[in-house]
A and B are shown apart, each in its own frame.
Chain A
Amino acid sequence: MNIKVFFALLLGRLVRWILRVIHRGGTDMPGRIALKLCPQLLRYLARDVKTVAITGTNGKTSSARMVEQAFADAQLSYLANRSGANLISGVTTEFIMNATLTGRPKCDYAVIECDEAAAVKVFPQLRPQVVIVTNLFRDQLDRYGEVTHTLSNIRTALTGLPETTLCLNADCSLTASLAGDLPNKVVWYGLEKSAAPRNVPEPPVSDATHCIRCKTKYDYDYRTYAHLGGFRCPKCGYARHAADVAVTEIVEQKLDGSTVIMDVRGARKLVRANLPAVYNIYNAAGALAAVTEMGIDVDTGIAALGHFNCGFGRMEQFPLGKAGARMVLVKNPAGCNQVLNFLQDIQEHFVLVVCLNDRGADGTDISWIWDAEFEKLGLLGNRLERVIVSGDRAADMLIRIKYAGVPTERITLERSYETIVSQLADEALPIVLMPTYTAMLELRSTVVRHVGGSEFWE
């Protein structure tokens, strides 16, 4: 412990205190300032903390909440960057707030979600025991660049951490390729053919049609969604690896969750995840792979999946309107397509609110909304009672939905979240709120003001 660490911690705490006094979250700035003073602060604070880190394009937050619940149920003392501040500044802030001023960690464990581009800075300092890489899809191309670039970023982040166990999505050909390049122990998870939906067509837009190793077009034994599934390169032989945590059967898929059968390291288990949709089945399998690797008992890990609290805006429910509202964050085409699939399964009529922003954290390029299959909204017919578009780029969202085949008389543009939320208070039909990241922060605050709930940093 040196004097620099002490002052960095003091400064970080002070900044946080000031921000909280003025009702700001302060989930990022304290760390950013403390790191200026002591660039290796995170390494120091994390040195004795056993960490599960989660990175990848989609599912980071939900996976982190699943892992966190297992930690809580196993009665471990842990910290987590729950607010979603997942750059090195946010991660460091969390460690500052969970350390004494002498730099001694107050927790034995940590659950950290980490931005894919930030992993290069975070992982070498954090030195996690286990890293889950959920998947890789095109995402905010203006910020991350091509998906292969993100992949090589993650590879670089993991280089120099040979002791770390990797939990990799076996069905994602991009993610899985990390295994061949690194010496690390790998625990694989994925969906078996027996659990895959029947006859999933080749998606109109795929991020990985050609072999990451030799650029030959992949063959697929089965697909689950997007480019995920039983891929196989006919030329070089690069193919899906058998999964250690394997979903073998989907028993039931409902709006409030899924029940599946998993083969967890050789044991057949019935698993219920309390978030709907196939992508959350993947998240559950990944989380289970990680927590068992951390030494938590399988059944504790499975029980946690059935009662964890989903992250902010991840299918989060609010008592807004007479039939309630769900908020689902969308950030990129793959995630958005999953949500659009989920909407197909809603049997009642419903009201949809889509809020599109183009600020830094959302990506300034909003063209991705045309890669997402909003045409599925057009196919809903009368079940989609109406759509409200909002956000900085509401006008663009409106034309996307118009061209998707939703009649224009069903689409309204409303800039004010306040107006939207107060109007929806009397809504008789179920409501689905679909914001991008920065829109979610504002919209969620407005909803919380009306119906109660906690702010994102609480």
Chain B
Amino acid sequence: MELKICHLYPDVLNLYGDTGNIVCMSRRLQWRGLGVSVTKAPIGSPLGLSQYDLVFIGGGQDFEQQVLLDDLHRGRDREILAAVEDGMPFLTICGGYQMLGAYYETHTGERCDFIGALDLYTKGSDTRMIGNYKFQCSESAGGSVIVGFENHSGKTYLGAGMEPLGRVLRGYGNNGEDGTEGAHYKNVFGTYSHGPLLPKNPAFCDLLLKTALERKYGQCELTPLDDTAELAAHDEMCKKLE
């Protein structure tokens, strides 16, 4: 069995160690004797999303945002939207997560249209929501407690039908107001969690891999790995955040 992972916009969305998520997924597949290939899809390259089994989008700097939007609006937004509806597993972090929403409104009121695959939008604010944080995933997203590092000034608000990825236990999450963190829609997992997210949260990483493998191959069980080191780092941060 093999997963084909697409790393979308690694050239501009590569902030805060988010590529560590790719490293983590790849290793955890390899350690189980499963195959993995990672294809980078930088700005301007053809996508062909349907050939992949999982898509990863990280966070980036504001500086390149316009370059990215121009590229998205050359038809990639429609392709991503279709893949989401088709049940393609996505892991999207911070800027990549916001990008799947409807739009971003700066605090001066300017609006950038995003992909609109998820019923959510983001508003710029002048507070920076920054620091280690933790949240509890909803049942449908595995129910585990996740530790990460958030660093965003955008406040994300979910539409009425949109499920959050989890509830904030400590920190800000989507907007620092309603206690929600991230979004979970079909097989899309969106979150503000840098850190990077997956290495310290192996259960969540495996949930993601299982989702992608089952979509491709049908029912499957993942061989358990020795996660002593990962869980030690997870528990240590959990304690710090009590």
Q: Which residue among A141, A367, A371, A375 has the maximum number of chain B CB atoms within 10 Å of its CB?
A: A367
Q: Does B222 contact A (CB under 8 A)?
A: no
* Nearest neighbor of B65 in chain A, beta-carbon distance: A215
Contact A398 B233 (CB under 8 A): yes
The interface residues of chain A lying within 8 Å CB-to-CB of B16 are: 141, 365, 367-368, 371
Other than A209-B11, A403-B24, give 9 A-B pairs with Cβ distance below 8 A.
A206-B11, A210-B67, A365-B149, A365-B194, A367-B18, A367-B196, A369-B17, A370-B19, A403-B199
Q: Which residue among B15, B18, B132, B196 has the maximum number of chain A CB atoms within 10 Å of its CB?
A: B15
Distance A139 CA – B34 CA, assembled complex (angstroms):
36
* Nearest neighbor of A365 in chain B, beta-carbon distance: B149
Shortest distance from the beta carbon of A327 to any chain B beta carbon, whole Å? 24
Residues of chain A having any CB pair with chain B under 8 Å: 138, 141-142, 146-148, 204-206, 209-210, 215, 217, 364-371, 375, 395-396, 398-400, 402-405, 408
Contact B24 A367 (CB under 8 A): no
Contact A395 B66 (CB under 8 A): no
A215-B67, A403-B24 given; A396·B19 CB < 8 A = no
Contact B19 A371 (CB under 8 A): yes
Distance A141 CA – B17 CA, assembled complex (angstroms):
11
Q: Scoring B residues 2 to 37 as 1 if CB is less than 8 Å from chain A, else 0, what string do you get? A: 000000001110111111100110010000000000
Contact B151 A370 (CB under 8 A): no
* Nearest neighbor of B195 in chain A, beta-carbon distance: A367
Shortest distance from the beta carbon of A296 to any chain B beta carbon, whole Å? 38
Among B18, B130, B131, B230, point to the contact of A399 (Cβ < 8 A). B230
Shortest distance from the beta carbon of B82 to any chain A beta carbon, whole Å? 27
Contact B229 A408 (CB under 8 A): yes
Contact A367 B194 (CB under 8 A): yes
Among B18, B27, B63, B132, point to the contact of A146 (Cβ < 8 A). B63
Contact B23 A364 (CB under 8 A): no
* Nearest neighbor of B21 in chain A, beta-carbon distance: A370
Distance A369 CA – B18 CA, assembled complex (angstroms):
10
Q: Does B178 contact A (CB under 8 A)?
A: no
Contact B200 A396 (CB under 8 A): yes
* Nearest neighbor of B193 in chain A, beta-carbon distance: A367
Q: Does B207 contact A (CB under 8 A)?
A: no
A209-B11, A399-B200 given; A367·B229 CB < 8 A = no
Among A205, A366, A405, point to the contact of B19 (Cβ < 8 A). A205
8 sample A-B contacts, Cβ–Cβ < 8 Å, listed by A number: A141-B16, A215-B64, A365-B151, A367-B196, A371-B16, A371-B17, A398-B233, A399-B233
Q: Does B61 contact A (CB under 8 A)?
A: yes
Shortest distance from the beta carbon of B123 to any chain A beta carbon, whole Å? 19
Contact B20 A147 (CB under 8 A): no
* Nearest neighbor of A216 in chain B, beta-carbon distance: B67
Contact B151 A148 (CB under 8 A): no
Contact A395 B229 (CB under 8 A): yes
Contact A368 B17 (CB under 8 A): yes
Shortest distance from the beta carbon of B9 to any chain A beta carbon, whole Å? 11
Distance A232 CA – B213 CA, assembled complex (angstroms):
43
Distance A210 CA – B43 CA, assembled complex (angstroms):
11
Contact B229 A210 (CB under 8 A): no
Distance A238 CA – B194 CA, assembled complex (angstroms):
34
Distance A395 CA – B203 CA, assembled complex (angstroms):
17
- For window 145-188 of B, CB contacts with A under 8 Å fall at 149, 151
The interface residues of chain B lying within 8 Å CB-to-CB of A404 are: 23
Shortest distance from the beta carbon of B134 to any chain A beta carbon, whole Å? 15
Contact B17 A367 (CB under 8 A): yes
Distance A369 CA – B20 CA, assembled complex (angstroms):
9
* Nearest neighbor of B14 in chain A, beta-carbon distance: A205
The interface residues of chain A lying within 8 Å CB-to-CB of B229 are: 395, 398-399, 402, 408
Among A215, A368, A369, A399, point to the contact of B66 (Cβ < 8 A). A215
The interface residues of chain B lying within 8 Å CB-to-CB of A204 are: 10, 14, 19
* Nearest neighbor of A143 in chain B, beta-carbon distance: B130
Distance A157 CA – B80 CA, assembled complex (angstroms):
43
User: Which 10 A-B pairs have CB atoms at the shortest separation, nearest pair first?
Assistant: A370-B20, A370-B17, A367-B17, A395-B233, A146-B61, A367-B16, A148-B63, A205-B14, A395-B232, A371-B17
Distance A204 CA – B62 CA, assembled complex (angstroms):
19
Shortest distance from the beta carbon of B106 to any chain A beta carbon, whole Å? 16
Q: Does B139 contact A (CB under 8 A)?
A: no
Q: Does B236 contact A (CB under 8 A)?
A: yes
Contact A217 B43 (CB under 8 A): yes
Q: Which residue among A138, A396, A405 has the maximum number of chain B CB atoms within 10 Å of its CB?
A: A396
Shortest distance from the beta carbon of B79 to any chain A beta carbon, whole Å? 21
The interface residues of chain B lying within 8 Å CB-to-CB of A368 are: 16-17
The interface residues of chain B lying within 8 Å CB-to-CB of A403 are: 20, 23-24, 27, 199
The interface residues of chain A lying within 8 Å CB-to-CB of B14 are: 204-206, 371
The interface residues of chain B lying within 8 Å CB-to-CB of A138 are: 15
